[in-house]
Amino acid sequence: MTIISEKLLQVTRSVTPIFLFVWLIHFFLVPFSPAVLTAFVLGTVCIVIGLTLFLVGVEIAISPIGDYIGKGIARSNKISILIIVGLILGFMISMAEPSLTVLGNQISLVTNGAIGGSLLVFIVSVGIAVMVVIGLLRIVYTWSFMAIMLASYSIILLLSLFASSEFLSIAFDASGATTGSITVPFLLALSAGISSLKKNTIRKGEDSFGLVAIASAGAVITVLFSNLINPTESLSGDLDVSFGLSGSLFFNLFEISKDQLGDVLTAIAPIAVLFILYQILFLKLPKRRFHRIMLGIVYVITGLLIFLTGVNFGFIDIGSIIGYKLMEGDQNGWFYVLSFILGMVTILAEPAVAVLTEQIERVTAGALKPVFVLTALSVGVGTATLLAALRVTSASLELWHILLPGYLLVFVLSYFNSNTIVTMAFDAGGVASGPMTATFILGFIQGAAEGAEGASVLIDGFGMIAIVAMTPILTIQLFGLADAYYKNKSKQ
């Protein structure tokens, strides 16, 4: 089986549940117009093709580039190079992350431009860059992962006391959205490249994970800090739920694809240019291997363009419609049930999830199978979407009521799990909040917030990604404890 056919089969299996689920909703709960259904089908086809090409490109280009650069940083044995390269890479990759761009545009749309999408992306990228450097220094100097996370979240807790409710939701959502389809594969490969040169096998496994989680904490800190420096007045916003398409379907598809092209090229070009310079000046790979990586970059660009076109064309609107119609029809029971199921099936289609599960299996030498991580992620994201749904229907339930006890439990569980499980769990939290979550589930929750009486799209519609980023950390650690318990029992 070729790599393309292998990825195609993998993606088809991942996307099929959500495709069938939407059709069941159409037949039994919320009927859609023919135009919306056709757009959804075309969007699904684009997602399958695009995600297949993207994952092929990640395997033969993005991951090797991160690995080569990581090993180059480690071999240079110069902290100055690590700091400079870490700042540049962290900033460029975050600025280029499609999920963060989608969230920035959505925030700008809902707030009518009161919070600029481009400014938000810039602020987040600064935080990511600084924390990437701290994460790389952790690998080199073997600093404690949990010490860094405790310090980071203590700062976040302190800053959150002075932040508005709107900015608290936006800050945590930005943290989740920035760890998407480009950032996760690159940072995983970068940390694996640096840690692979270590002789200690246990430390090598621990240090292969954790960089994504450390980096994402920087996004929350800088957004909250920006609100502290420049406080905003109370914000309000609404979401325009669209129940149809203007013009022909293929014209809309072409227009969306054209709009996405600039974002995709901006995302990949810095990484490609940096790798070409590294190849010319230092790496000097054989031509055949270099050409294979460049071909992989073409796959990534093409796949990401088709994937994001499908997501924006067929998924955002239909998610918003489902949420809005359920609230409009006062079907709270079905709203809760569908929230949980949607979370479970949508996470399977996240592009970075496949990358993470493959790296976990490789680093642990097959000890942790992909089904372990996928099950924990599905349960975690399903729970997260249900909690986000409860926020929409309950005026008294605020974001910090969920995040504060949730993260306290996360840190308690970390003392009973192995360091590898803990770092892997934190990375999985970042991986869970990619472009599918930032579009389909976010649209579903925001559509519900627009239709629910007394709910605010700006406060209740955002914050969902933050919960999604937290719950997989809990579920993977719980699964890890259960797995360790049964293994010990079997030995007795």
Predicted local distance difference test score (pLDDT) of residue 148: 94
CB distance 70 to 85 below 8 Å: no
Instruction: State the alpha helices, DSSP H only, in 285-398.
Output: 287-314, 316-328, 332-346, 351-363, 370-393
Q: Are residues 115 and 107 in contact, defined by beta-carbon separation less than 8 angstroms?
A: yes
Tokens of 173: 């959502």
Q: What is the pLDDT of residue 221?
A: 93
Against a cut of 0.85, is the pTM above it? Answer: no
C-alpha distance across the termini of the chain, in Å: 42
Count of CA atoms in the C-beta half-sphere (13 A) of 10: 25
Residue range 124-149, pLDDT digits in tens:
999 999 999 999 999 888 888 889 99
Give the whole-angstrom CA distance, residue 220 versus residue 411: 18
- Is 433 within 8 Å of 102 (Cβ atoms)? no
What pLDDT is recorded for position 409?
93
Determine the length of the chain.
492
**Mean predicted confidence (pLDDT) in 461-479:** 85
The stretch 350-367 carries a mean pLDDT of 73
Provide the CB-side half-sphere exposure for 387 (13 A, CA): 23
The span from the CA of 472 to the CA of 238, in Å, is 30
**What does the pLDDT look like over 257-309, one tens digit per residue?**
777 788 788 778 888 888 898 888 888 889 999 999 999 999 999 988 888 88
The reported pLDDT for the residue numbered 29 is: 86
State how far the Cα of 89 lies from the Cα of 182, in Å rounded to an integer. Answer: 12
Decide if pLDDT at 314 tops 80: no
pLDDT, the chain, mean: 81
Mean pLDDT within 442-451: 83
pLDDT digits (tens, 9 = 90+) for 204-241: 556 778 888 899 899 889 989 888 887 765 555 555 55
pLDDT band at 243 (very low <50, low <70, confident <90, very high): very low
Give me the half-sphere count of Cα atoms (radius 13 Å) on the Cβ side of residue 9: 5
In this structure, is the dihedral angle defined by the CA atoms of residues 478, 479, 480 and 486, taken in order, positive or negative? positive
pLDDT tens digits for range 143-184: 888 899 999 989 998 988 888 777 787 888 887 777 777 787
Number of H helices, E strands in the chain: 23, 0
The CA-atom distances, in angstroms, between 358 and each of 58, 193, 474 are 12, 15, 21
The percentage of residues in the chain with a pLDDT greater than 90, rounded to a whole number, is: 13
Q: How far apart are CA 199 and CA 419, in angstroms?
A: 17
* Predicted pLDDT at 204: 55
